[in-house]
């Protein structure tokens, strides 16, 4: 039975392929005929209509068309008008669409209705008013008159841009990404400048963060060498001066005038070259009315919970909040009883976090408690000072670069992780 249906399917496939091939040839033939006809004499073109191959070949047809028929002028005019109308139309439509999508002012709703109504207006009905306008301006039969007539975004393109801008959450416009980086990393010095597939790691983190369409991306660092590298590939950087912790550095950056006016700041560690756009969008969209949030993911069986480079988090409030963080395995397996076949569920912090700008700026004024000093985990300062951290679960398996050995693993996996 299976062979019967397979043979029948193959037979229908063959018939469909032959039918579609004939249709394609019928569509292509006129274009092929025109191309070969351009190398024929005028007599040969009409006397032997079905012959494709010119006999003889007339090579100077293009030369005569370009010079004697003044084709160069026609081509120049076409190029000028096409480029101008496209550039002007896209620019004006994009600006109108952005204003209508992002700003609500008296009459904005009416404007939307009017532009929507213009979609049903026949194009020929606009020719006479446009002609009268060009004539009244004294631009009739001039290039400027044609350019003016072709200037302006259409109703359809304006609505298209408006829909595109509407689809981007407002939070994305209010957010900036800050990437903390320094050369004096204790476990892997100068790692932010380590080469990954031909680029320094900080450039990869920057470029992948910028894909998220946030308002701005800045690298926060105390090293002028990092600032120069970032400026070298066209990025933005803030020299914060020395800072004892990662979030302290970000706190200094959040107080800078270039970032203070943003509603929200996303912190992406400079050693996260596999960060993706969905991860950044996720922490932005899920911040809501919280002061800050933090990404985490479930550790897989091949990952060692005893690795002190990986920060483990404990979830509270039915998985909605991060209750605690530690470099030690939590939960730990009790020495009492036989737990050989039992593996607790471990969750690992992913260093992509979203903050209200004022909350991040306030970090350096909060007191450091014993647990943060012992563990060396920045977010414990918020927890120990009474802040609640919303938990954001990430399904994306990515690796950060803590030690030199992580670099090869990132190089291997990076091509398979879409930004």
Single pTM value for the model: 0.69
Domain end point (choices 132, 166, 200): 166
How much is the pLDDT for 42?
77
How much is the pLDDT for 203?
95
- φ, ψ of residue 87 in degrees (nearest 5): -65, -45
Tokens of 222: 């105390």
- The 8-class DSSP code of residue 364 comes to G
Whether 277 contacts 405, CB under 8 Å: no
Domain end point (choices 24, 42, 67): 67
Domain count, the chain: 3
How far apart, in whole angstroms, are the C-alpha atoms of residue 95 and residue 116? 16
In a domain, 349, yes or no: yes
Cβ neighbour number for residue 281 with a 10 Å cutoff = 20
How far apart, in whole angstroms, are the C-alpha atoms of residue 152 and residue 91? 9
In a domain, 81, yes or no: yes
DSSP annotation string for 211-245 = TT--SEEEEEES-HHHHHHHHHTT-EEEE----SS
Whether 42 contacts 65, CB under 8 Å: no
Tokens of 203: 């450039």
Whether residue 366 sits in one domain with residue 249: yes
Whether residue 76 sits in one domain with residue 32: no
Pick from 226, 242, 138: nearest CA to 179: 226
Whether residue 150 sits in one domain with residue 199: no
In tens digits, the chain (419 residues) has pLDDT values of: 545 445 555 777 888 889 999 999 889 988 888 888 888 887 777 777 677 788 888 888 888 878 777 888 888 889 999 999 999 999 999 999 999 988 888 988 898 899 888 888 887 888 888 889 899 999 988 889 988 888 877 888 899 999 888 887 777 778 999 999 999 988 889 999 999 988 999 999 999 999 988 889 999 999 999 999 999 999 999 999 999 999 999 999 999 998 988 899 999 999 999 999 999 999 998 998 899 999 999 988 888 888 888 899 999 888 899 999 999 998 877 766 565 666 788 999 998 999 999 999 999 999 999 999 999 999 999 999 999 999 999 988 787 888 888 888 888 878 776 66
Cα–chain-centroid distance for residue 399? 20
Buried b (16+ CB within 10 A) or exposed e, 345-355: ebbbbbbbbbb
Whether residue 292 sits in one domain with residue 280: yes
Whether residue 175 sits in one domain with residue 162: no
In a domain, 266, yes or no: yes
How far apart, in whole angstroms, are the C-alpha atoms of residue 75 and residue 73? 5
In a domain, 106, yes or no: yes
Whether residue 223 sits in one domain with residue 199: yes
How much is the pLDDT for 4?
47
Whether residue 174 sits in one domain with residue 161: no
Domain end point (choices 67, 90, 105): 67
How much is the pLDDT for 403?
86
- Structural domain boundaries, residue 46: 2-67
Residues 6+ apart with CB under 8 A from 120: none
In a domain, 408, yes or no: yes
* CATH number of the domain where residue 241 is located: 3.90.550.10
How far apart are the two ends of the chain, measured CA to CA in Å? Answer: 46
Kind and range of the H or E run holding 199: strand 199-200
In a domain, 338, yes or no: no
In a domain, 339, yes or no: no
Burial of 193 (0-12, 13-18, 19+ CB in 10 A): middle
Whether residue 266 sits in one domain with residue 159: no
Whether residue 197 sits in one domain with residue 87: no
Whether residue 298 sits in one domain with residue 198: yes
In a domain, 260, yes or no: yes
């Amino acid at each position: 039975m299976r062979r019967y249906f397979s043979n029948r399917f193959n037979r229908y496939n063959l018939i469909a392929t032959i039918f579609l091939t004939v249709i394609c040839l019928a569509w292509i033939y006129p274009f092929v005929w025109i191309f070969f006809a351009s190398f024929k004499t005028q007599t040969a073109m009409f006397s032997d209509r079905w012959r494709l191959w010119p006999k003889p070949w007339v090579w100077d047809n293009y030369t005569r068309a370009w010079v004697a028929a003044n084709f160069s002028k026609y081509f120049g005019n076409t190029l000028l008008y096409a480029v101008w109308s496209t550039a002007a139309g896209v620019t004006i439509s994009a600006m109108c669409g952005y204003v209508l999508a992002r700003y609500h002012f008296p009459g904005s709703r009416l404007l939307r209705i009017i532009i929507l109504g213009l979609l049903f207006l026949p194009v020929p009905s606009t020719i006479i008013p446009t002609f009268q306008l060009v004539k009244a301006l004294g631009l009739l039969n001039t290039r400027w008159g044609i350019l003016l007539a072709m200037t302006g975004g259409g109703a359809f393109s304006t609505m298209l841009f408006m829909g595109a801008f509407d689809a981007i959450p407002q939070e994305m416009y209010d957010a900036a990404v800050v990437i903390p980086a320094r050369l004096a990393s204790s476990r892997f010095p100068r790692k932010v400048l380590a080469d990954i597939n031909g680029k320094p790691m900080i450039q990869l983190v920057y470029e992948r963060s910028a894909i998220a369409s946030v308002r701005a991306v800045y690298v926060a660092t105390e090293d002028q060498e990092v600032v120069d590298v970032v400026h070298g590939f066209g990025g933005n950087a803030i020299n914060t001066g020395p800072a004892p912790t990662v979030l302290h550095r970000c706190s200094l950056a959040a107080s800078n005038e270039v970032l203070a006016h943003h509603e929200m700041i996303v912190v992406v560690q400079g050693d996260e070259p596999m960060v993706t756009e969905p991860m950044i969008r996720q922490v932005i969209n899920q911040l809501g009315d919280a002061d800050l949030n933090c990404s985490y993911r479930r550790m897989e069986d091949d990952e060692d919970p005893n690795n002190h480079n990986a920060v483990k988090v404990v979830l509270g409030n039915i998985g909605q909040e991060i209750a605690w963080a530690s470099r030690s395995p939590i939960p730990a397996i009790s020495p009492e009883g036989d737990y050989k076949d039992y593996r607790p569920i471990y969750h690992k912090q992913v260093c992509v976090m979203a903050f209200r700008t004022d909350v991040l700026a306030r970090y350096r004024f909060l007191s450091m408690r014993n647990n943060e000093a012992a563990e060396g985990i920045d977010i414990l300062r918020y927890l120990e000072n009474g802040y609640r951290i919303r938990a954001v679960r990430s399904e994306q398996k990515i690796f950060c670069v803590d030690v030199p050995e992580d670099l090869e693993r990132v190089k291997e996996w990076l091509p398979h992780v879409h930004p």
